[in-house]
């Protein structure tokens, strides 16, 4: 059952790649993609099918592009950095937008448009790092996006956002490898195997990097020793990233199982099966709420809140599938849905509905500055 679901998810993304090269069909696209979402200073930035939208308090701030473009398709969560929004496309491009207006400032084209960008770019220590699904990694100077300062090629696809830490770049590739690159040169410093493919974010906590795999493994990479240590084995494949809360690591797998392990001694603190009635599993990452509880979102749209000791606090169902990791804005948690009757729904921490936002046809700013185009072809 779960293996079939895993195959379905991978095929879903692959099929959406094919559609991105065909004539646009909104209804069809809505069925084969899920939103990417980022929050910054109270505004939610959503990339979904053929547009990127900025939404605050349930109202549209801007939408890009101004007019529908059947040749565009967005999947990765937007990166917001220093007043700019970096939106990656299935056409192997990164569109650089003004954070306040959504106006296009720059367009970076990476090699062949037959390749796609499935993972968000990463920014840090003066560099912009962009992964492409053909295994290429591009390093740019954030102050000069004219051309990459380095390009590194890996033998396998990259579906996970790079992690920048202490002048190094950490990359997880689909061939079950963790790569460490020098941030300044792009040189591969080290590559070593992981116990399965990593499908979601690498999590940095207290100088160590935590990750989960489709091999049911939860591991930690210690940059100080360059060693990977397995922390636990789940009952089923894991898509969602782990959540670190103080000295505990919390993991939700694709079988509906949630586990909590003490990082100091490696012992299980608690474990439970939170499978929903229809057997939906967890793709979105668990999120720590500001009131100390933890929110889990099942694929079928069920929202489940537990306390740090694994006790159920609240449950609510939404009208739509949820595969996107929610974001926190003030005292609200924002969720993205497919297809649903709304693109975004906001809930209070006790799961009362706060506001909802349906996808808008509004256009972005009329005052569009001159656009700079960069190509690495």
Torsion of Cα atoms, 5 then 36 then 162 then 282, to 10°: -30
CB 217 within 8 A of CB 230: yes
User: Strands, DSSP E only, in 99-216?
Assistant: 104-109, 122-124, 127-131, 136-141, 150-153, 163-165, 168-173, 177-182, 188-193, 203-205, 208-212
pLDDT in the model for residue 140: 98
Residue 8 has a pLDDT of 46
Residue linked to tokens 């809930």? 347
SS3 letters for 267-324?
CEEEEEECCCCCCCCCCCCCEECCCCCEEEECCCCEEEEECCCCCEEEEEECCCECCC
Confidence of residue 155 (pLDDT cuts 50, 70, 90): confident
CA nearest to 156, candidates 136, 169, 172, 175: 175
Q: What pLDDT was estimated at residue 244? A: 98
Query: Are residues 64 and 366 in contact, defined by beta-carbon separation less than 8 angstroms?
Result: no
| The pLDDT value given to residue 5 | 52
**pLDDT value of position 235:** 94
pLDDT at 369: 45
Position 362 confidence tier, pLDDT thresholds 50, 70, 90: very low
Q: In angstroms, rounded to a whole number, what is the distance separating the alpha carbons of residues 149 and 329?
A: 36
Q: Is the pLDDT of residue 255 over 50?
A: yes
pLDDT digits (tens, 9 = 90+) for 97-109: 999 999 999 999 9
The answer to which of 13-22, 181-190, 346-355 has the lowest mean pLDDT is 13-22
Nearest one of 264, 237, 263 to 250, comparing CA atoms: 263
Structure tokens at 328: 């926190």
Which of 101-110, 270-279, 285-294 shows the lowest per-residue confidence on average (mean pLDDT)?
270-279
Predicted structure pTM score:
0.89
Q: Could you count the other beta carbons within 10 Å of the beta carbon of residue 29?
A: 18
- Over range 211-226, report the average pLDDT: 97
Give residue 71's pLDDT.
Answer: 87
Least confident of 32-41, 225-234, 297-306, 327-336: 32-41
Average pLDDT over the chain reads 88
User: pLDDT tens digits, residue range 7-47?
Assistant: 445 544 554 444 444 433 333 333 346 899 999 999 999 99
pLDDT at site 298: 93
Pair 287, 244: CB distance under 8 Å: no
Query: How large is the average pLDDT for residues 128-134?
Result: 95
């Amino acid at each position: 059952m779960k293996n079939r679901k895993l195959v379905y998810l991978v095929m879903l993304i692959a099929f959406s790649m094919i559609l991105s090269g065909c004539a646009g069909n909104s209804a069809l696209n809505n069925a084969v993609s899920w939103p990417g979402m980022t929050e910054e200073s109270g505004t939610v930035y959503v990339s979904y099918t053929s547009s990127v939208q900025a939404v605050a308090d349930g109202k549209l701030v801007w939408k890009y592009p101004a007019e529908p473009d059947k040749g565009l398709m967005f999947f990765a969560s937007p990166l917001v950095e220093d007043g700019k929004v970096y939106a990656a496309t299935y056409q192997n491009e990164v569109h650089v937008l003004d954070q306040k207006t959504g106006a296009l400032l720059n367009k970076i084209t990476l090699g062949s448009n037959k390749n796609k960008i499935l993972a968000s770019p990463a920014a840090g220590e003066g560099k912009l790092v962009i992964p492409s699904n053909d295994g290429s990694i591009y390093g740019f100077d954030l102050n000069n996006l004219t051309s990459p300062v380095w390009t590194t090629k890996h033998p396998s696809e990259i579906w996970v956002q790079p992690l920048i830490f202490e002048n190094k770049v950490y990359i997880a590739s689909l061939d079950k490898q963790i790569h460490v690159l020098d941030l300044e040169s792009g040189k591969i410093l080290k590559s070593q195997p992981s116990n399965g493919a990593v499908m979601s974010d690498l999590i940095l906590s207290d100088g160590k990097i935590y990750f989960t795999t489709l091999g049911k493994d939860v591991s930690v990479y210690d940059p100080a020793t360059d060693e990977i240590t397995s922390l636990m084995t789940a009952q089923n494949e894991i898509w969602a990233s782990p959540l670190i809360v103080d000295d505990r690591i919390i993991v939700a797998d694709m079988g509906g199982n949630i586990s909590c392990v003490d990082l100091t001694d490696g012992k299980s603190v608690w474990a439970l099966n939170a499978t929903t009635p229809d057997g939906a599993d967890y793709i979105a990452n668990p999120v720590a709420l500001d009131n100390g509880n933890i929110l889990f979102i099942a694929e079928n749209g069920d929202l489940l809140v537990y306390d740090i000791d694994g006790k159920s606090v609240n449950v609510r169902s939404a009208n739509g599938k949820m595969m996107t990791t929610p974001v926190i804005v003030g005292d609200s948690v924002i969720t993205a849905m497919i297809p649903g009757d709304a693109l975004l729904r906001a809930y209070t921490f006790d799961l009362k509905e706060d506001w909802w936002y349906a996808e808008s046809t509004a256009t972005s700013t009329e005052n569009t500055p001159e656009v700079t185009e960069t190509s690495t072809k």
